[in-house]
Every structure is written in structure tokens, then in C-alpha cells.
Chain A
């Protein structure tokens, strides 16, 4: 997995609450058997009209945000389905970091498996960053995962919390499966004990 250490980029504002996975990547794009290539369909129904033309008003279609690497959104971001196509599409578009007051559980976990950093901050601080994002390409936001900070273009530093294990994996770009294989002896032992205790499983 790609490492995440630092990022300095333009942030796209998406001031909506409950942005669901059907909005992020509608189901007609779930038919792929690959992980790549979904970026052009990120937010498809908000981004294109019925004929497939770009809707100029949608944030990611505006010149300032076409190369955005950060997304700032409202609470409960990523609610809905477990589709990992949502973070795949976000990443494929080029966004490596999402900032919102809160996330849906499965989406939040899925981000980490794909080298995306989801930052949760109190609403007041998200409001500051949303205002910052509104400035378009004039404002670059800096993210430092090691230091757990977001720095605005004005130099304001906002600290965020993150689970230490998830942080470690993201910083090092670690593969979960390889990590778990290191514990295979413990799994073997558990499996033997469990099948003795609950043979019907």
C-alpha cells in the first residue's frame, strides 16, 4: 500500500452532510472487477448531466478544484454501503485526504486500506477548513500525519486524533494481511481450541 506521510494540496469544499456511498460512486460503476479507473466516475450523478456532460457548478468540475487532493465535507461522510469502490474512486481521482466532522464506520476503515487519510475534527474546525477550501487554488492546506496536524494557508495549526495502529500502518504503507500472517501461530491455536469448544461451527 502507498505510504501517507505529508500532503500539501488544494482542498475541495463539499458542504453536505450524510454524503453517502451511492453519491460517491453510483452502483452502475460497481460492476468492475478491478480497483482502478473509477476516478472519472467519482460523484458521477452530481458531476455529469444525463448526457454525460460536466455540470459546471459541481465543485470538482471547477478549474480551481480539478486537481484537488483534499476533500472537506459535512458530518457522517461515507454512510451507506460497504463498497470499497468509494475510496477507490476517491483515490483514483487524486484525493488522498478527507476532512469531516464524522464518518460512517465501514467507509472510515476502508480509507486506511487504500492509503487515504480520513481526518475527523470538531464542526468548528471543519468550518474553518471549509472556509479555507472555498478560497480555491489560492489556499493550500498542509497535512502532516506524523505530527497529526492540519495547517491552513494562514498558518493556523489544527491537531487531529487518530488511532495509533492505523497511523502506523498508513505511515509505513503496511499490508494488513502480511501483518496478520505474522500471528498465524496464534490463529492456529485459537482455531484448535475453538473447534474443540464449539465443534458445530
Chain B
């Protein structure tokens, strides 16, 4: 047999049919559904008199529109948002899928809930009408976002029409320096390859620095594979993966666990597998980074200065000019002098318990800069509960952070958590597009530790400066 990558193996294990031109029908093991990209799909089913083929493999949770304020039990004020969430409530009941309503403590961002509940397992195919489905790749699952028509297709047939992507290997060698986290890895990779660098590929992340990451960190890395243009990002499962999965509500148990484990242990790329593209980055070379522009590829170490349009080539010159204008930044300004108004810690990129621990480690015994608006939005009700149990919530509140309920919140500002025009935000989310966090809002992406540091000083800050004070 010819050597295969992990992606090849998962693909082959799910291939229902392949046409001569390579167009393939792929079986889907898990279909996650949220309220924004599913109403039209369920409506399509209803209109055609179709049913959900595998309701047992379909999991729904509202996240994008839900209020994250403590009084949310009183309902959603915005009528359209409320209608959308109610539509999912109804569709979940009507079609009999697994469902975590707003009132359920397990509710949260779909990409946090899936792994937390053990729905996401190694070797699976996982899709969701959401581009950050790539997150689940951290388990060695082939996971990617789909559009609403495809959501309808998966609901009806439990399959997806696909053509195979190429294989790309991103290797992060060696160790990370102190203060450098998974977010810095994933942003640095995009800074290196560009937002289209992964287009047409499925990325496998590997190397010592990736192995060393926790499952939470691996999810952060895979989450942003999409910002690098890739269809999916994945990491071969190992002991850490199995430990994380074991005992979760929907993970296999007993003999089924043993059988699953035996297969999962084979899920790795063969040593002589063919890669269409390879990118290698030394872990030691990665610094804490921030974005300065309006594309996730606009990444620089916090020690750098705001670039000038002339530093770039081709279409990027104009794009940089537009970005700088939108961001209100002057070339040559040291990044760590850029003052911020708001801090947002949360999202499917960085809303897990470890992210909150990293932020708390910086915030402990400190206060946020006066006048700053700062919020922490845990990725799920269970993350919130755990953070309270560990005393992290007290640290956040004592520091001056607003401690919210779970949801997407200011990651995309579909609910009332939004930036006002010109407001500048240090955010742990994944997109710094124009208007992403609110019309005219200015987003700088960074790690939770960096965002916490920025909250303390009121400007973009090298987290290592605050760590030194501690030592």
C-alpha cells in the first residue's frame, strides 16, 4: 500500500463513492448545527418533505445570537435574534436532533461544546455551517465548515460532495519561549503563509511544539487553519487526545473504548507520506504577536513597529494603506504604544478553561487600566462553572473584568456585545476584518495572556514585561 497522510486515511475511511473525475461522496460522522446558518436548511428539508437522515449524529446549540449578560433568562430582546434562536429550538425538537438550549448549562459555542461533550472523536468527519469547524481537527478529525446548502445536504443524506484537497504539513520544531502560546503559533503561521497560503490544502500541524501543546492549545491552532485559507487543519491524536476524550459523556466506554483506541492509535501520517507543501517554523523563533491590520495575516511581534504600505508588494500595498487608515495607525509607531479601549477574552479560539487560566495568571492581584471596558466570555456554561470553581472568576472580577455567560459575543457582535466606531479592542478571537466586532471597530488579535496584559496597561503590551515583574 502506498504511504498515506492522516488526511488520506480519514478520507479513505469515509469515502462512500468516487466518480471518475474525482468528485466524491464523503460520509459525515458528526454534524453540528447553530442558529445562524441552519434555518434555511431545515426549511429546505421541510419544503421537500425530507427528514434528517441521522438525527443521532446531529447536534444543535445556539451560540452566535445569545445574550451573554447575566439576565439572559429573561429572553432575547432583539426580535430577529430571538426568532433565529427559536427557529433552532423548534427545528431541533421537530427533527429530533441532540440539543443544548440556551437554558442548559452545557450550552456554549458549538466548537467548544462538541469536544467538551465527547461528540468529537479522533478519525471522524465533522462538519458544521461555520468556518471554525476546523477547531475539531485538534482531535485528528477531518473537520471543516460548510455553507447552508451543504448543511441541508448533510441533514438529508449524512454525506457531503467533496473533491479531495492537497496535503500540507506545517511543522513547528523545538520549544516555545516563555510567554508564547498556541495563539502565537497559529497567528505566526498565517503571518508566514498568508490568508490564502492554505487554499486548496488540508494542513497537518506537527512537530515538538505542537506535541507539547495541551488539547486546548491544539484546538486554538486548528481553529485558525481557516484564516490561513486551508479547508481543515488537523493534529494526529496521541495520549493527550485520548486522555482528554476519555470519560466524556458521548465518548465510547468499555469494550467500545478499547476498539476505538486500537483504531485511533493508527491515525498518523506514514513516515514516507507525500506532502504537496511543507512549512517549517522554529518554535524558538516565535514571539508573542499581535495583528496590526484588518486581515489575520497582518501579524507582527509585539516588539515591532506599525509597518508602512511601502513595506509590501502588489495588491498588498493598497490593502495595507486601507487597513492602516481603518485602524487609525501611523507607520513607525511602536506597537506597544498603541492604546486600546476594550478587551475581549473569549471565542471558539480562546474561550476554553486553559485560556482563562492564562489570562488569570496575568491578572491575579492586578487591576485593569481605569476607563477600560473589559469582558471575559467563557466558551461554554461548563467552562464558566469550572472557572468559578477554580477561583478564576474572582480574579477577573477583582481585576475589573465583566464576567459573562457563554456565547460568541463580541467575536462577531451579532448580539449586543459590540464595538462602537473607532473603538480599539484587544481581542482573543480570530478575525480582525473591518466591522467584524462592530461597525468601525478596530480589532487587534492576540493570545489571552497578551489580552490580559493589555487590559492592565491600557495599550498593546508584551506579556513578558509583566511576567518579569512577577519573577
Contacts and interface: CB of A to CB of B under 8 A. Distances in A.
Interface stretch (A3-11, A54-62, A99-107, A132-140): A99-107
B83 interface: yes
A146 B255 CA distance: 55
A106 B129 CA distance: 10
A103 B36 CA distance: 23
Given A104-B199, A163-B21, A109 B147 contact: yes
Interface in A6-28: 15-18, 20, 22-23, 26-28
Contact of A187 (B23, B159, B257, B435): B159
| Interface residues on chain B, size class | 35 or more
Interface in B7-60: 13-14, 16-17, 19, 21, 23, 25, 27, 29, 36-37, 39-40, 43, 48, 50, 57
B414 A30 contact: yes
B130 A35 contact: no
A82 B229 contact: no
A141 B146 CA distance: 31
A81 B324 CA distance: 23
Contacts of B316: 17
B145 A106 contact: yes
Interface in B223-277: 229-231, 251-252, 256-257, 259-260, 263
Interface in B47-79: 48, 50, 57, 64-65, 78
Contact of A50 (B17, B131, B153, B421): B421
B149 interface: yes
B130 A79 contact: no
Contact of B433 (A20, A103, A104): A20
A177 B40 contact: no
B434 A104 contact: no
B173 interface: no
A35 B13 CA distance: 34
Given A16-B322, A23-B434, A177 B43 contact: no
B21 A75 contact: no
Interface in B112-166: 121, 123-124, 129-131, 144-150, 152-153, 156-159, 161, 163
B454 interface: no
A104 B231 CA distance: 9
Contacts of A15: 315, 318
Nearest to A183: B17
Nearest to B412: A27
A199 B256 contact: yes
A177 B259 contact: no
A163 B162 CA distance: 12
A177 B163 contact: no
Nearest to A23: B434
A200 B145 CA distance: 23
B121 A31 contact: no
B28 to A, nearest CB: 10
Given A45-B434, A80-B433, A199-B256, A30 B36 contact: yes
B84 interface: yes
Given A22-B431, A105-B199, A180-B159, A33 B87 contact: yes
Contacts of A164: 21
Interface string B317-335: 0110010000000000000
Contact of A82 (B19, B129, B163): B129
Contact of A18 (B17, B21, B48, B295): B295
Interface string A94-116: 00000000111110011001100
Contact of A180 (B25, B84, B130, B200): B25
A80 B431 contact: yes
A34 B16 CA distance: 32
Nearest to B19: A165
B125 to A, nearest CB: 10
Contact of B147 (A34, A113, A180, A181): A113
B364 interface: no
B14 to A, nearest CB: 8
A84 interface: yes
B213 interface: no
A53 interface: no
Contacts of A181: 156-157
A102 B295 contact: no
B434 A82 contact: no
Most chain B C-beta atoms within 10 Å of own C-beta, residue among A31, A87, A191 = A31
Contacts of A20: 295, 431, 433-434
A106 B232 CA distance: 11
B315 A75 contact: yes
Given A80-B431, A165-B23, A194-B27, A105 B147 contact: no
B312 to A, nearest CB: 11
24 contacts: A16-B318, A20-B434, A22-B412, A27-B412, A28-B414, A30-B64, A34-B40, A35-B148, A79-B196, A81-B145, A82-B129, A84-B40, A104-B199, A109-B147, A163-B21, A165-B21, A165-B23, A180-B156, A180-B161, A186-B16, A187-B25, A187-B27, A198-B260, A201-B124
3 residue pairs, one from A and one from B, having the closest CB atoms: A200-B252, A113-B149, A31-B80
Given A15-B318, A76-B229, A105-B231, 12 more contacts: A27-B436, A30-B64, A31-B36, A74-B315, A81-B131, A83-B36, A84-B149, A165-B19, A165-B21, A177-B157, A180-B157, A194-B14
